Amino acid sequence: MDMPTERFALRYSELGEKYGPITWLVVPGRTIIVLNTYDSMYEILERRGSNYMDRPRAAMIQELVGMNFNTPMRQGDPTWRLHRKLLRPALSPDAIKRNYSELLIAGAHRFVKRVIREPETFRASLKRSLGETISDLTYGAHEDDQGNDYVVKQEELLVYSTLAIAGYLVDLFPLLKMVPGWFPGAHFQRDAKKWREHMTELRNLMIEGVQKRMAANEGRSCYVVNMLEDLQKVKDETGADITEDIQAVYDSGFSFYQAAADTTEIGLKNFLLAMTLYPVAQARARQEIDHVVGARRFPEFSDQGDMPYVHAVVLESLRWNPPAPFIIPHASREDNTYKGYFIPKGTTVIPNVWQISRDSTIYEDPSTFNPDRFISNPNILDPRDFVFGFGRRVCPGKYLAYQTMWMFVVSTLWAFELEKPEGEPPLDKDTDRFDFGFLNSPRPFECNFIPRKEAIDKILVAE
């Protein structure tokens, strides 16, 4: 009964305070350990990563909804290894800057333009701009020639996925998946059928869209197109069978939106909220941008090396509120021991990364948004070392997430001054700022965007 049903990260932290770095829980049909320190996460999930590379069985989302093809949800099998083999070079820092810089800049500019026109809808504009950017980067488009809006359909699927992963009785008792949908109480079967149909339709739409554009020689540089062209070259040169690789490209590509959209959006909402609450940090970041960029041109990725404080702002936005506060759980493949504790095969391992962000032995005054901590202490723990996961399951898109956030952050501060509206609550406590769900989003807040005339004039003229 100690297993939390709400405010998960906070409850997991309370368990850590009571029982120490590793807490053992038993629920029907499952054994669970919760890790609450960076050292325990690093030792178990990083150094022993080969034993903790699987995922716990989740009958609802993996089997009934059918998301078991999705890279983050797959078990650590040969197909998952193929996904990682494809994703690693395609999402390396050099590949991102070489292939996707223009897409990321265009996405940031779209956000700025939307806020200029409708500042009161900045949250919707951020979601839409990020969605278009991720879809363009993955498939080369965010809609097809029939008017199907990939972003809207992906957002609907994200809602379904969140509901499916939130926990159904069938996850504890997988045999229930044999119960027919018409049976009383089997609403989960009806939910799963509806969500699976939506997901299948969306996958087919986006794959067919890519195939049509490539056949018409209209395929823009994007992950799926680039990978398919590379595979075709391999086939032409060696005659290799690339059928399995093509399917892996489609499946891993479909994972982009599911893995990146909400988490990157939360990271940027962290930034916007922090700028309204900590105007001194905002002023210092803008001063650096003005010094390096000025108002006569747009910020570019080549400016990154000259903006250490903006880099620190992005890191602190990730540290201040990790978007996935306990990431996707791991599962042990074989029996193991840690500091005398026996961890049986099949144990679910939950790393509570929120607690790392609030560990005062690592981060002084951890609830305060303070980018200076990354300037004054170069050896401090980089949040990218825990926010994006551990070991074999570390997110392959961690560099893409950082670069996307950096471009949106620098473009926003180049174009606007951000201000907390009068009458807004002070939001002094973490519990006032964040909702502590499966994804820890900032609670709804307001923000005034004050245009900086020279920058705004330039971006509007460029339309």
CATH number of the domain encompassing residue 46: 1.10.630.10
User: In 3-state terms, what secondary structure has residue 361?
Assistant: coil
Q: Any known ligand binding at 447?
A: no
CA distance 187 to 64: 12
Number of domains observed in the structure of the chain:
1
Report DSSP state, residue 43.
I
The residues that bridge with 336 in the sheet, in sequence order, are 343
User: In 3-state terms, what secondary structure has residue 30?
Assistant: strand
Q: Strand 30-35 to strand 22-27: parallel, antiparallel, or no bridges (unpaired)? A: antiparallel
User: Is 70 contained in some domain?
Assistant: yes
CA distance 127 to 13: 30
User: Is 120 contained in some domain?
Assistant: yes
Angle at 91 (CA atoms; ends 130, 166), nearest 5 degrees: 55
Give how far the C-alpha of residue 307 lies from the chain's centroid of Cα atoms, to the nearest Å.
Answer: 24
Longest dimension (CA), the chain: 68
Looking at residue 454, its pLDDT comes to 77
Q: Nearest to residue 261, comparing CAs of 172, 351, 161? A: 161
Sign, CA dihedral 161-144-69-252, equals: negative
Give how far the C-alpha of residue 353 lies from the chain's centroid of Cα atoms, to the nearest Å.
Answer: 14
Tokens 């490209």 — which residue?
249
Helix (H) or strand (E) holding 27: strand 22-27
Report DSSP state, residue 442.
B
Instruction: State the Cα torsion 399-401-402-407 to the nearest 10°.
Output: 120
User: Is 3 contained in some domain?
Assistant: no
CA distance 170 to 168: 5
Tokens 């962000």 — which residue?
357
Report residues of the chain scoring pLDDT below 50.
none
The residues that bridge with 26 in the sheet, in sequence order, are 31
User: Is 2 contained in some domain?
Assistant: no
What the block records as the tokens of 283 is 């002023």
Q: Which residues contact 422 (CB under 8 A, 6 or more apart)?
A: none
CA distance 306 to 399: 19
User: Is 138 contained in some domain?
Assistant: yes
User: Is 169 contained in some domain?
Assistant: yes
User: In 3-state terms, what secondary structure has residue 287?
Assistant: helix
CA distance 432 to 260: 25
The pair phi, psi for residue 173, each rounded to 5°, is -130, 80
The answer to whether the CB of 459 falls within 8 A of the CB of 109 is yes
**How many residues belong to the chain?**
463
Domain range holding 437?
Answer: 8-461
User: Is 321 contained in some domain?
Assistant: yes
The answer to whether the CB of 420 falls within 8 A of the CB of 448 is yes
Q: Which residues contact 220 (CB under 8 A, 6 or more apart)?
A: 136, 140, 141, 213
User: Is 52 contained in some domain?
Assistant: yes
Looking at residue 463, its pLDDT comes to 59
CA distance 270 to 445: 11
Give how far the C-alpha of residue 435 lies from the chain's centroid of Cα atoms, to the nearest Å.
Answer: 17
Angle at 304 (CA atoms; ends 298, 310), nearest 5 degrees: 90
Looking at residue 324, its pLDDT comes to 93
